[in-house]
Amino acid sequence: MSYPYDGVDLRAHPEAYRVGRGEQGVFHAEPYKGELLPLWSFKTEEAARESSEKIYAKFEEYRAEGDFVGMDVARKYLQMGWTRARRYAKYEGGKKSKPREEEDPEKARAAEVFRAKWRAAAEDEEYSRLKEEHRRRNE
């Protein structure tokens, strides 16, 4: 799938950004991808805690700047931390063809760490207000 903002600096052109569903577009949203992807890790509960705190701090930075696109992309990385850690908790090597007999407790804890930060971002009042405003103006 091609995104309408491939190759577009979304900080300079936020009107090009489409919210999408779930984690859609997270690897196409520059310059945010370059700022957030290096912070993203879910290997262990400790890595997830450090990663989710850094990504949430970026979410708060973007909020302070009134940067909805940055906030939404950060929210998507938090959501993706949860979904990927859950996948690895349930499936060996994260491969859906190799279900585990028992869930990996470390990955399950990593997922819950990300889930808490993701929900905090998704339920943030300023995020919700800016999201509605962005949709009204651009979609």
Q: List pLDDT tens digits, range 43-68.
A: 999 999 999 999 999 999 999 999 99
Predicted confidence at residue 20, as pLDDT, reads 81
Nearest residue to 114 via CA among 19, 63, 43:
43
What's the rounded Cα separation, in Å, for the pair 25 and 80?
A: 11
Low-confidence stretches of the chain (pLDDT beneath 70) = 1-2
CA within 13 Å, CB half, 118 = 19
Q: Tell me, what amino acid is at 70? A: G
Q: Where are the domains of the chain?
A: 38-138
Length of the chain: 139
pTM: 0.94
Q: What is the dihedral of CA 134, 14, 119, 1, to 10 degrees?
A: 110
